[in-house]
Amino acid sequence: MKKGMMATLIFILMFALVGCGSSTEKTATTEKKITVVTDAAFAPFEYMDKGEIVGFDVDLLKAVMKEAGLAYELKNIGWDPLFAAIQGKTADMAVSGITINDDRKQTYDFSIPYFESTHMILVKEGSSIKSAKDLQGKVVGVQNGTTGQEAVEKILGKENKNIKKFENTVVAIMDLLNGGVEAVVTDNAVANEYVKNNPDAKIVAFEDPEHFESEFYGFMFPKGSELKQKVDEALKKVIENGTYTEIYKKWFGTEPNIESLQQ
Ligand code: ARG
């Protein structure tokens, strides 16, 4: 009799354990992780450090997803593939210092803006290029499919063979060092970061407000994505509660101009 009861108890216990196990597994699999894609060759926004994707965008994404209560996975897939992944809906969201503009808005949805940017020209020290106009007749490097490319096309003309397009910004700057291009046009924070981190490279960066307009970065989604609203709400909170300022200070060492984002 006793033995029988023990067996029944053990049986019940085992059943409960197995049942428990499978039910937690179920919640884990039904709670789908959001796939976020990036091109991690754009310091200080996203870049690889000891095998990890780090940067301002990465910290901001983390804060926003925590605020929204969303589980996610960040994948470094490259710039052109990132647009294809969002358009083909194989990814749910992209963060990559992506400028919000009318052209892209036809194909993608964007969050509210989170960073103000403009373009800068990188040249070797002592270069004769002192303004955007001086780029005429020169071989200029840009990252393919960026607003930097558009900015240069406005000055040199769209079909100009002197515009050299690179897969990412790091290789464009490498080509400047090697003398393949005479200038690189990229986002100001990225240009400044390169100069700061590479004092021996003898590269200088300058702005030309007459030719380069201000633009804003946003998180990018497939058109009609339900994520946009959740992310916008969380991003607003993160900006309002000071988390954004903390992250900004960590990466840029100065106070952000939050009002410029809210216009
Ligand atoms: N802001 C520019 C654009 O949207 C360049 C962004 C490049 N970002 C990157 N992670 N490579 O076109």
Please name the residue that has the structure tokens 């003398």.
179
* Test site for ligand 1: of 96, 100, 170, most ligand atoms within 8 A of the Cβ: 96
Closest CA to 35 of 86, 81, 110: 86
| Distance from residue 41's CA to the centre of ligand 1 (Å) | 10
Concatenating the DSSP letter of every residue in 47-115 gives EEETTEEESHHHHHHHHHHHHHT--EEEEE--HHHHHHHHHTTSSSEE-SSPBP-HHHHTTEEE-S--E
| Distance from residue 215's CA to the centre of ligand 1 (Å) | 11
The angle formed by the CA atoms of residues 53, 249 and 47, to the nearest 5 degrees, is 15
DSSP-based helix, strand, coil % in the chain, nearest 5: 45, 20, 35
pLDDT at 2: 62
pLDDT at 205: 98
Instruction: Kindly state if the Cβ of 79 falls inside 6 Å of ligand 1.
Output: yes
- Alpha carbon nearest to ligand 1 atom 12, residue: 146
Measured from the CA of 145, which atom of ligand 1 is nearest? Answer: 12
Per-residue pLDDT of the chain (263 residues; tens, 9 = 90+): 566 666 666 555 555 555 444 444 444 445 689 999 999 999 999 999 999 999 999 999 999 999 999 999 999 999 999 999 999 999 999 999 999 999 999 999 999 999 999 999 999 999 999 999 999 999 999 999 999 999 999 999 999 999 999 999 999 999 999 999 999 999 999 999 999 999 999 999 999 999 999 999 999 999 999 999 999 999 999 999 999 999 999 999 999 999 999 87
Task: Quote ipTM for the complex.
Answer: 0.98
Closest CA to 120 of 146, 100, 101, 96: 146
Instruction: Kindly state if the Cβ of 96 falls inside 6 Å of ligand 1.
Output: yes
In the chain the first and final C-alpha atoms are separated, in Å, by: 79
Which residues does 22 contact at the CB level (< 8 Å), separation at least 6? none
On whether the CB atoms of residues 214 and 117 are closer than 8 A, the answer is yes
Instruction: Kindly state if the Cβ of 47 falls inside 6 Å of ligand 1.
Output: no
pLDDT at 32: 86
| Distance from residue 9's CA to the centre of ligand 1 (Å) | 62
Residue 172's φ and ψ, nearest 5 degrees, are -65, -45
